[in-house]
Amino acid sequence: MAEQIKVIVFALGNEEYGIDVDKVRTIERMMPITRVPKTYSFIKGVINLRGVVIPVIDLRGRFNLEETEYTDQTRIIIVAVGEMEVGFIVDAANDVVDLDRDNIDSPPEVVGGVKAKYLDGVAKVGEDRLLIMLNLAEVLSRGEMTHLEQLED
C-alpha cells in the first residue's frame, strides 16, 4: 500500500500548490507587515506572531509572477524551513488533501512559470486536478536563509 501524506493546498493565480502538512506551523490572515530596508524585493518584511518575529515572503514575487492586491482570501502560511519559521504570502489556502506518494511525479522544467528547482513534483488528485508540490528547501537559497535569520535578530 502506498504511503499517504497530508498536504495543505494553496493558490497562486490559477495554479494550486501543496506543502506537506508536517512543514506547516499555522495559517494566518493577512496582518500588518513591518518593512525591512535593504532586503530582497520578494521579502515583504517581518510580522510579530505571538511574540515571535517571522520573516514574510511573497511567493508571487519569489516566483516572478505578477504581484496582485491582497484580498480577504490572502493568507500567510507559516512554515518551518530548517531551523527557522518563514511566512509565505499566498492568494488563498483552502484545502487539506491526502495524497499517495506514488501519485507524485517528477516536475517538468517549468510549471506555471515556476522553475523546477523550487518544486518537489506534481501530484495527481482525483481525475483532473494537479497539485504542484513545493520544495521548501529550494524556495530559499542558503544566502537568502542567512539574510532572513539576520532579520529575526
Give the model's pLDDT for residue 115.
Answer: 63
Confidence category of residue 6, pLDDT binned at 50, 70, 90: very high
Give the model's pLDDT for residue 91.
Answer: 96
Predicted TM-score (pTM) of the model is 0.87
Give the model's pLDDT for residue 140.
Answer: 74
- Domain boundaries in the chain? 4-152
Q: How far apart are CA 111 and CA 140, in angstroms?
A: 18
Higher pLDDT, 12 or 136: 12
Give the model's pLDDT for residue 55.
Answer: 93
Question: Which residue is it, cell 518563514?
Answer: 86
Tens of pLDDT, residues 72-129? 999 999 998 878 899 999 999 988 999 888 888 887 665 555 566 777 888 888 778 8
Alpha helices, DSSP H only, in the chain? Answer: 59-62, 136-139, 142-152
DSSP string, 97-135: EEEEGGGEEPP-SEETTEEGGGEEEEEEETTTEEEEEE-
Tens of pLDDT, residues 11-68? 998 889 999 999 999 999 999 999 988 888 888 999 999 999 999 999 998 888 888 9
Q: How far apart are CA 139 and CA 131, in angstroms?
A: 17
Q: How far apart are CA 153 and CA 53, in angstroms?
A: 8
Amino acid at 31: M
Is domain 4-152 classified as CATH 2.40.50.180? yes
